[in-house]
Amino acid sequence: MGIILLIPLSTSWGMAPLEEEIETLDTIEITGTVIEQQERTLDFPLPHIQPVAHLNPRKNLPLPTLQLHKSIATPLPLMLDQTAQTGNIYTPVKPLKAERPLYPRRAREQGWQGRVIVHLKVLANGTVESATIQKSSGHQLLDDNAVKSARQWTFEPAKNGGFPVATAVNIPIQFDLVE
Domains identified in the chain and CATH numbers: 88-179 (3.30.2420.10)
pTM of the model: 0.59
151: exposed, middle or buried (Cβ count in 10 Å: 0-12, 13-18, 19+):
middle
pLDDT tens for 43-59 read: 778 777 777 666 665 56
Strands 23-24 and 167-178 come out as: parallel
Q: Which of 67-71, 88-92, 133-137 has the least mean pLDDT?
A: 67-71
Q: With 70 as the cut, is the pLDDT of residue 142 above it?
A: yes
pLDDT in tens, 87-113: 557 788 888 888 888 889 999 999 999
